[in-house]
Amino acid sequence: MGPRIGPVGEEPRMSDKDTKAMMSTEDIPQGKASPNSQDLQRSVFYSIKFFVLCHSLLQLAQLMISGYLKSSISTVEKRFGLSSQTSGLLAAFNEVGNTALIVFVSYFGSRVHRPRLIGYGAVLVALAGLLMSLPHFISEPYRYDRASPVDMPQDFEASLCRSETLVPDPTPAPSNSSCSSYTETQHLAVVGIMFTAQTLLGVGGVPIQPFGISYIDDFAHNSNSPLYLGILFAVTMMGPGMAYGLGGLMLRLYVDIDRMPEGGISLTSKDPRWVGAWWLGFLISAGAVALAAVPYFFFPREMPKEKHEIRFWRKVLTVSDSPVSKGEDSPSEQSLREPLEKQDGLVQIAPDLTVIQFIKVFPRVLLRTLRHPIFLLVVLSQVCMSSMVAGMATFLPKFLERQFSVTASYANLLIGGLTIPSAIIGIVVGGMLVKRLHLGPMRCGALCLLGALFCLLLSLPLFFMGCPTHRIAGITHEPGNLPGLEQFPACRGNCSCPLDDFNPICDPSTHVEYLTPCQAGCTSRVVQEALDKSQVFYANCSCVVGGGPVPAGSCDSACSHLVLPFMFLVSLGAALASLTHTPSFMLILRGVKKEDKTLAVGIQFMLLRVLAWMPSPVIHGSAIDTTCVYWAQSCGRRAVCRYYDHDLLRNRFVGLQFFFKTGSLACFALILAILRQQDKEERTQVTVSIPGLQQQQPLVSGPEKKPEEFRA
């Protein structure tokens, strides 16, 4: 089993109350329990199984609230006028808070009440979720038509063509009146609140995973611990999928559902101005985390060690023939433990050292570990893979919205229902292959190489699967412009159109989109009432053949059906990339000294956070911003992007993914080459030392082999 937290050779000290808890009916002849044992048996808080259940639910809720922002990133951008670079930085701030404190919090892990500290961390996560939703309540109601006066129904007369002689001077007065110092201060306050909430979200998550894993490992039966960690891992991995599912449901609701304007709204979820109830998901997730945190304040600091092995688990593992019976971690146990234990690595570096000694010894061990070529290459390959995953998890919903003209809700449901389950299946299959085929380091390297290669090949068709850029009057320019595509069409006469208004309409005959009815020369508005919704049309449009009527909203995309094949290839690639997860971790375990394994996992976690999960969303967001062709302006500053060049967006987003996949493939190729060279040198040494002995080395790394040796 994994190393215990606390001084070496020292068993956990239990209070009198905890000592009594060790009594059970099995300890008393004929099964007669004492009154004290009967009282304690009724307390589920002395059961490690109940702790596993509570911790599975807590980590599920924590990952759901951590991943929820990614499902609503484009909605937050539209609501508060953020660029993709800023929203990517906002998503990365979750990792900043976590990484900044993981070393110090983990160092003090053996000196604190672990369940209670987990509870405090969960409460902080819940408060951060509430803080994340606060901007909705302190901001003014969302006005999707900023040019209309407050006392006039939105979308009514403000966007229509009106003669310049009928418009009072100055024309941009509504815009200027909204750019007061108070408005700018409020915007900065809202953005600051969200960044603070994301930081606290990361800080609160620091003690949850490592302390929970070490607590289970300390008090579960040695043979049951892999099963408990496997259950914990399986339940936890559903968190991101539930986050996207929750986002898909919440974004169907209008953002101001708690303060709807009189007469309702005329928007649908397909309208580019639609903003969903992004804040509601944070409230639901925060409530779930708060409920899951309650039991941790009742668990003891130390509970009695579980005495009995689960027989079902024993039959499955055939413990008598496995490394577990010899006191070692089997590959299956390590693969189950690793994804959750990566944050636990720094907990056990040096529990007996003082803070000063810990700081002094850490750089030396760090450099010694980084000098190992296999370890360094494996970590670099995982950095590339994690960068690809971080960018896709953050901006894939927005990419689908823009590229295929689908709603934010539908994009989230596709990711939560296809991509996340595929990644889970890939990780499980990778662990099963390592276990069932008894793969040694060289075969693990070959499996990683194949997984990365096919993942790279599957991304090639994605460059050609997309929709063309919408034709927008005054923005897109093509050779032989169609009527209406020029910058200032003469057809709209002397209409005075607000420059910062955004109320798109589509000319169905030419598939040309206009930013506002005013720019199409429309002078009247017609509402057709239906049973479940109302449809808005604009008529008497001088720039439209026949004068209309034309429907409100953006033009429909002719290739939205390609979103399903696109997501199928993305999900299949995610499964193949996840296939390398467990084998690459086994390369680290087999490639470093036994005493450095825990530190190696901790260093791996730190490097992935610093080099991948923090910078990747910002890199992807910056690349997306470079493809924008029309920015909305807010008080003289660049706000949210209204339109993108679809070809550039696809090539740069998919190109970044391709770049990181290529880097991972190159690292795995170097790893396999080094392993082959080491194996060749080892066989040569064996032949020279024992002349005439031709012994075929097995392809399985057995228990008698040293961890630092690389053999096929």
| pLDDT over threshold 90, residue 516 | no
pLDDT computed for residue 597 by the predictor: 67
pTM score, whole prediction: 0.79
d(CA 707, CA 704): 9
Rounded to an integer, what distance in angstroms lies between the CA atom of residue 712 and that of residue 701?
7
Q: Residue 11: which pLDDT band, with cuts at 50, 70 and 90?
A: very low
Averaged pLDDT, 95-106: 72
User: Lowest mean pLDDT: which of 14-18, 182-186, 274-278?
Assistant: 14-18
pLDDT of residue 636: 74
pLDDT band (50, 70, 90) for residue 357: low
Angle between helices 373-404 and 581-591 (to 10 degrees): 160
* Band of residue 568 on the pLDDT scale cut at 50, 70, 90: very high
The residue that leads in pLDDT, 708 or 162, is 162
Residue 343: name the closest of 145, 211, 454 by CA. Answer: 211
- Max mean pLDDT among 331-340, 443-452, 603-612, 693-702 falls in 443-452
Helix (H) or strand (E) holding 234: helix 225-236
Would the pLDDT of 350 be above 60? no
Of 256, 238, 297, 279, the closest CA to residue 129 belongs to 279
In this chain, the answer to whether the domains covering 44-143+185-313 and 372-467+558-686 adopt an identical fold is yes
**SS3 assignment, position 294:** helix
Its sign, for the CA torsion 493, 497, 499, 500, is negative
Confidence (pLDDT) at 12 = 45
More reliable by pLDDT, 522 or 252 = 252
Indicate the residue type of 437: L
Segment of 300-314, 406-420, 432-446 carrying the highest mean pLDDT: 406-420
* Token duo for residue 616: 């990747």
DSSP one-letter code for 353 = S
Beta bridge partners of 552: 505
Least Cα distance to 544 among 523, 564, 565 occurs for 523
Determine the pLDDT at residue 244.
Answer: 94
Which tokens belong to 563? 């979103």
Give the E-state strand segments of 62-201 in sequence order: none
Is the pLDDT score of 658 beyond 80? yes
pLDDT confidence bin for 331, thresholds 50/70/90: very low
Structural domain spans, the chain:
44-143+185-313, 372-467+558-686, 487-553
- Give me the helix-helix angle, 48-71 and 278-293, nearest 10°: 170
Mean pLDDT of 327-338: 43
State mean pLDDT over 398-410.
92
8 A C-beta contact, residue 306 and residue 221: yes
Beta-carbon-side half-sphere exposure of residue 398 (alpha carbons within 13 Å) = 31
Q: pLDDT-derived band of residue 107, with 50, 70 and 90 as boundaries?
A: low
DSSP 156-189: SSTTS--BGGGSPSPTTHHHHHT--HHHHHHHHH
Query: 3-state SS of the chain: helix, strand, coil percent to 5?
Result: 60, 5, 35
CB 406 within 8 A of CB 695: no
Mean pLDDT of the chain: 77
Looking at the DSSP bridge assignments, the partners of residue 534 are 529
How many residues are given for the chain? 712
Task: Residue 617: name the closest of 625, 627, 607, 606 by CA.
Answer: 625
Which two three-digit tokens encode residue 532? Answer: 């479940």
DSSP 238: H
Alpha carbons 706 and 586: distance in angstroms, whole number: 14
336 pLDDT band (50/70/90 cuts)? very low
- Is the predicted pLDDT of residue 30 greater than 70, yes or no? no
Separation CA 16–CA 38 (nearest Å): 16
Per-residue burial over 244-268, b = 16 or more CB atoms within 10 Å of its CB, e = otherwise: bbbbbbbbbbbbbeeeeeeeebbbe
Model confidence over 51-93: pLDDT tens digits? 999 999 999 999 999 999 999 999 999 999 899 999 999 999 9
Residue 403 belongs to what H/E stretch? helix 373-404
Q: Would you call 507 helix, strand, or coil by DSSP?
A: strand
Q: Would you say 540 and 547 are in contact if contact means Cβ atoms under 8 Å apart?
A: yes
What is the pLDDT, as a whole number, of residue 531? 59
pLDDT at 414 over 50: yes
Judged against a pLDDT cut of 50, whether residue 699 lies above it is answered with no
Distance CA 199, CA 207 (A): 15
pLDDT at 617 over 90: yes
User: Between helices 278-293 and 238-250, what is the axis angle to 10°?
Assistant: 140
Question: What phi and psi, each to the nearest 5 degrees, are found at residue 97?
Answer: -65, -35
* 533, 486 contact by CB (below 8 A): no
Q: Are 341 and 213 in contact (CB under 8 A)?
A: yes
The residue whose two tokens read 């129904």 is: 153
Least confident of 299-313, 334-348, 370-384, 486-500: 334-348
Is the pLDDT score of 111 beyond 80? no
Nearest to 98, CA basis, from 124, 71, 64, 127: 124
Question: Measuring CA to CA, which residue among 660, 576, 668 is closest to residue 623?
Answer: 660
Assigned CATH for 372-467+558-686: 1.20.1250.20
Residue with the larger pLDDT of the pair 422 and 112: 422
At residue 680, φ and ψ (nearest 5 deg) are -65, -45
Please name the fold of domain 44-143+185-313: Growth Hormone; Chain: A; (1.20.1250)
Higher-pLDDT residue of 579, 20: 579
660 vs 207: CA distance, rounded Å: 31
Percent share of the chain, pLDDT over 70: 73
Q: Is the pLDDT of residue 666 over 70?
A: yes
**Residue 278: what pLDDT?**
94
The residue type of 587 is L
When mean pLDDT is compared across 448-452, 613-617, 633-637, the lowest value belongs to 633-637
Q: Provide φ and ψ at 527, rounded to 5°.
A: -115, 125
Give the mean model confidence (pLDDT) for residues 204-212.
85
> Which residues are bridge partners to 633 per DSSP?
638
Q: Is the pLDDT of residue 689 over 70?
A: no
675-686: burial string, b at 16+ Cβ within 10 Å, e else:
beebbeeebeee
CA atoms of 536 and 271, how far apart (whole Å): 11
Q: Check residues 708 and 308 and name the one with the higher pLDDT.
A: 308
How far is CA 590 from each of CA 137, 344, 711, 712, rounded to the nearest angstrom? Answer: 53, 19, 9, 11
Query: What is the distance between the alpha carbons of residues 46 and 652, in angstroms, rounded to a whole number?
Result: 54
The b/e string for 96-128 (b: 16+ C-beta within 10 A; e otherwise) is: bbbbeebbebbbebbeebbbbbbbbbbbbbbbb
Sign of torsion over alpha carbons 81, 86, 88, 93: negative
Q: How far is CA 437 from the centre of its chain?
A: 31
> b/e map of 619-635 (b: 16 or more CB within 10 Å)?
bbbbbbbebbbebbebb
Residue for token pair 């970044």: 656
Under 8 Å between Cβ of 656 and 459: no
The residue among 555 and 650 whose pLDDT is bigger is 650
551 φ, ψ to 5°? -80, 150
How does residue 562 score in pLDDT terms, banded at 50, 70 and 90? very high
- Give the pLDDT mean for 531-543: 77
- Whether 296 shows a pLDDT value over 90: the answer reads yes
In sequence order, the 6+-apart residues with CB closer than 8 A to the CB of 346 are 102, 103, 106, 107, 210, 599, 602, 605, 606
pLDDT tens string 433-482? 888 888 888 888 999 999 999 999 999 999 999 888 888 887 876 544 44
Lowest mean pLDDT among 175-189, 227-241, 363-377, 385-399: 175-189
Query: DSSP letter at 109?
Result: G
- What's the average model confidence in pLDDT over 599-627? 87
* Residue 191 scores a pLDDT above 50: yes
